[in-house]
């Protein structure tokens, strides 16, 4: 896996799942069902130091992992996440 930190254009559907992206000037279409990657909910950050035993911190979708390909057959597995109003590629699996 290549760890990258690059801004990309991502087009999600109405539910928020990525459907296509442009990375390094190439257009990729998502070719599988995106997998949500979860992390602690943002609203929980002020309480993060508190003990929540026996439970765990509230979770929300933090990032997405999906396979996407170009029309000429280039395919990668991408990890992407929101960075404010923009999307960022976090990792690429070949």
Q: What is the predicted pLDDT for the residue at 61?
A: 74
Q: Contact 87/67 with Cβ under 8 angstroms?
A: no
Residue 22 has pLDDT above 90, yes or no: yes
- Name the residue among 90, 77, 86 with its Cα closest to residue 31: 77
Q: What is the predicted pLDDT for the residue at 49?
A: 72
Burial class (CB in 10 A: 0-12, 13-18, 19+), 46: exposed
Q: Provide the pLDDT confidence category of residue 4 given band limits of 50, 70 and 90.
A: low
Residue 89 has pLDDT above 90, yes or no: yes
Q: What is the predicted pLDDT for the residue at 46?
A: 75
Helix (H), strand (E) at residue 88:
strand 86-93
Q: What is the mean pLDDT of the chain?
A: 86
pTM of the model: 0.77
- Only one residue has tokens 């929101």, namely 82
Q: What stretches of the chain adopt beta strand conformation (E)? A: 2-12, 18-23, 26-30, 35-40, 59-69, 75-83, 86-93
Q: Contact 61/38 with Cβ under 8 angstroms?
A: yes
Q: Count of CB atoms within 10 A of residue 11's CB?
A: 13
Mean pLDDT, rounded, for 32-52: 77
């Amino acid at each position: 896996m290549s760890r990258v930190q690059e801004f990309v254009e991502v087009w999600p559907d109405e539910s928020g799942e990525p459907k296509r992206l442009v990375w390094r000037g190439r257009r990729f279409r998502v070719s599988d069902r995106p997998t949500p990657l979860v992390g602690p909910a943002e609203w929980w950050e002020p309480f993060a130091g508190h003990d929540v035993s026996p439970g765990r911190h509230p979770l929300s979708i933090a990032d997405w992992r999906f396979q996407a390909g170009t029309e000429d057959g280039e395919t990668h597995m991408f990890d992407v996440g929101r960075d404010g109003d923009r999307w960022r590629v976090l990792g690429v699996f070949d």
